[in-house]
Amino acid sequence: MSSPATPGVLAALSPRDADTSADRRAELAEIDASTSGTVLLFFLAGMVWLLIGTVFALLASYKLHAPEFLAGEAWLTFGRIRTAHLNAVIFGFSAEVAVGVMLWLMCRLCRVPLMAQSVINAAALFWNVGLTLGIVGILKGDTTGVEYLEMPKYATPILFVAFALIAVWTIVIFRFRREKHLYVSQWYLLAAVLWFPWLYSTAQILLVLEPARGTVQAAVNWWFGHNVLGLWFTPIGLAAIYYFLPKVIGRPIHSYYLSVLGFWTLALFYNWNGFHHLVGGPFPAWMITISIVASVMMIIPVVSTAINHHFTMVGHFGKLKYSPTLRFIVFGAVSYTVSSLQGVASSVRWFSEVAHFTHHTVAHAHWGMYAFFTMTMFGSMYYILPRITQREWPSERLISIHFWCTALGIILYVAPLSWGGWLQGKAMLDATVPFLDVVKITLPWLKLRTLTGLLLAVGHVAFFVNLVWILARRFGPYRQPEPMILAGVTPATPAGK
Amino acid sequence: MGIISFILIGSSLVFPAVALWALWWAGRHGQLTHADKASLLPFDEQEPVGRMTDVVLNRPKASTAAPGGVAR
């Protein structure tokens, strides 16, 4: 037993003033300031990966209708570029921004400053080193060939160690919370940091380090591939929506009970969903059937979440005019509902038999990962960055360009490609249609996909410019002509500025 | 594969067990009740209910009242 004079490791890590009354709330500005450097690091690294991933995406998309383009360089072939794109945006942009948002939300809701930031900063460094090795490895041709786990085995242990640090630190923040009652966002965040290491380590062991045999490989692959979206990115996206939607409009969530029901039913049903990707494959039919049933049961968390979001917003839609956060978050929330219901439909056998192995699946993945998750993360960054930099967004015009290019871009990407994929699937099932004709059917949709990809790229560049601009202001002279608009966290003008 | 199987089967048992424990803990500590209190957790004295906290676009002039009760 440790004496009072020799505090344990956890106590030593606790915030300096953690011995004050539990009711005392830390100043928001103090909490925001403590997260500033770390969250900025994750956001900036994530945005750099987004730009890199966007370039890869445009190259890959163009190659789909112009296959001779850059075909002479092995590392620029479609198989490598497309895989590099996926890993850059999933494990680069999405994961890093998600960690930044998660840390900020957890500190705010726990009402504790981020302690020992150097630990998390080291994790960010590890993560980016591992990811760079992984992406370069993919471009070199070292891919494992397992979807969503393509990075070579010399890169993944670094990523795992980095994420383990992040997970442990998130739990440490939670351990020292001053607010004992949990908000639903904290449930989602805690579950996400526990689920991801489990998914990632299990899949790495069974698919890369000690590969399982036969159909077990397919089972583990889709158990991981589906759950990394639904049990890692989705909970963080929903945590952000459940925080920012009420926060921005100044109205509590419509039904807290519905939000809790949504969390626990997601936890119960989502884990079983992945096998519906194996409809028609050499896989036990009963396992696929269970997966389809669980996928249909996902209607419960999805609809309860949709009802909650909608009734929270009722009467407040006019506020979309003023808040970029609200625009992106509402877009993400609606997209969560639509993409999830589309996913439910896609799991049913007759639908899957047409849509599977077509561009419809690609469209669905982008509906979830971009229209829902990425837009939600953009909205979160619009809220967080002014608070941790103590500066307002420099350009309203760039914000508008960002929103309209990404919103229109992803709608024009997903809707036509879903339809084009359906036509492709119908043609593939028709034995009288030659395969080359099937390819020709997809061409107009693929060209449109490249054009909408350009629109998305414009939006990404606009946001990146605004991000660099706000950082330049942070480290430059204080030029704020008006009081900060950040209600409740109006900072004092820095001394000497 | 022996140790790996042990780890995998163990984790498959531990994670549902942790989930059940979390649900039990939540019920025991009132986390599944007191919804009124829980729904107010994003708010506090500095950023209370009824106050919009992200007015960035189309801002009214500083001298005029914010639209729809929006707090700047």
User: Is residue A219 a contact partner of residue A275, using CB atoms and an 8 Å limit?
Assistant: yes
Among B20, B33, B45, B53, the strongest candidate for a mutation testing the A interface, having the largest count of A CBs within 10 A, is B53
Q: What percent of chain A has pLDDT over 70?
A: 90
Mean pLDDT of A387-395: 91
| ipTM for the assembly | 0.83
Please report the residues numbered 33 through 52 in chain B whose beta carbons come closer than 8 angstroms to any beta carbon of chain A. 34-52
Residues B1, B31 within the same domain: yes
Among A485, A486, A489, A490, the strongest candidate for a mutation testing the B interface, having the largest count of B CBs within 10 A, is A485
pLDDT of residue A136: 97
Q: Inter-chain contact A485–B56, Cβ cutoff 8 Å?
A: yes
C-alpha to C-alpha distance for A273 and A262, rounded to whole angstroms: 16
DSSP states along A208-222: IIS---THHHHHHHH
Residue A328 has pLDDT above 90, yes or no: yes
Cα A54–Cα A383–Cα B71 angle in degrees, nearest 5: 145
Q: What percent of chain A has pLDDT over 90?
A: 79
Residues B26, B3 within the same domain: yes
Residues B26, B52 within the same domain: no
Give per-residue pLDDT as tens, A429-484.
Answer: 999 999 999 999 999 999 999 999 999 999 999 999 999 999 987 665 554 444 34
Side-chain half-sphere of A468: how many Cα atoms within 13 Å? Answer: 7
Q: Which domain holds residue B7?
A: 1-41
B65: distance to nearest CA of chain A, Å?
13
Which of 1.10.3720.10, 3.40.190.10, 1.20.210.10, 3.40.50.11540 would CATH assign to domain A27-475? 1.20.210.10
Residues B37, B59 within the same domain: no
Among A188, A323, A470, the strongest candidate for a mutation testing the B interface, having the largest count of B CBs within 10 A, is A323
**Which of A138, A71, A131, A62 has its CA nearest to residue A95?**
A131
Sketch the domain layout of chain A as residue ranges: 27-475
Three-state helix/strand/coil letters over B23-40: HHHHHHCCCCCCHHHHHC
Task: Count the domains in chain B.
Answer: 2
Residues B57, B23 within the same domain: no
Residue A183 has pLDDT above 60, yes or no: yes
pLDDT bin (cut points 50, 70, 90) of residue A179 is confident
- Higher per-residue pLDDT: B12 or A238: A238
pLDDT bin (cut points 50, 70, 90) of residue A100 is very high
Of A18-27, A295-304, B4-13, give the lowest mean pLDDT range: A18-27
Residue in B8, B46, B59 closest to A488 by CB: B46
- A95-110 and A156-175 are packed helices; what angle lies between their axes, rounded to 10 degrees? 10
B64 touching chain A per CB within 8 A: no
Cα A184–Cα A190–Cα A196 angle in degrees, nearest 5: 130
pLDDT of residue A7: 43
Residue A376 has pLDDT above 60, yes or no: yes
Q: Inter-chain contact B53–A109, Cβ cutoff 8 Å?
A: no
SS3 content of chain A, % helix, strand, coil (to 5): 75, 0, 25
pLDDT of residue A1: 37
Of A160-174, A175-189, A324-338, B22-36, give the lowest mean pLDDT range: B22-36
Residues B30, B51 within the same domain: no
Mean pLDDT of A337-343: 95
pLDDT of residue A478: 52
pLDDT of residue A491: 35
Residue A318 has pLDDT above 90, yes or no: yes
Mean pLDDT of A405-410: 98
User: Is residue A103 a contact partner of residue A192, using CB atoms and an 8 Å limit?
Assistant: no
Residues B3, B32 within the same domain: yes
Residues 6+ apart with CB under 8 A from A406: A374, A375, A378, A455, A456, A459, A460
Residues B35, B60 within the same domain: no
pLDDT of residue B1: 57
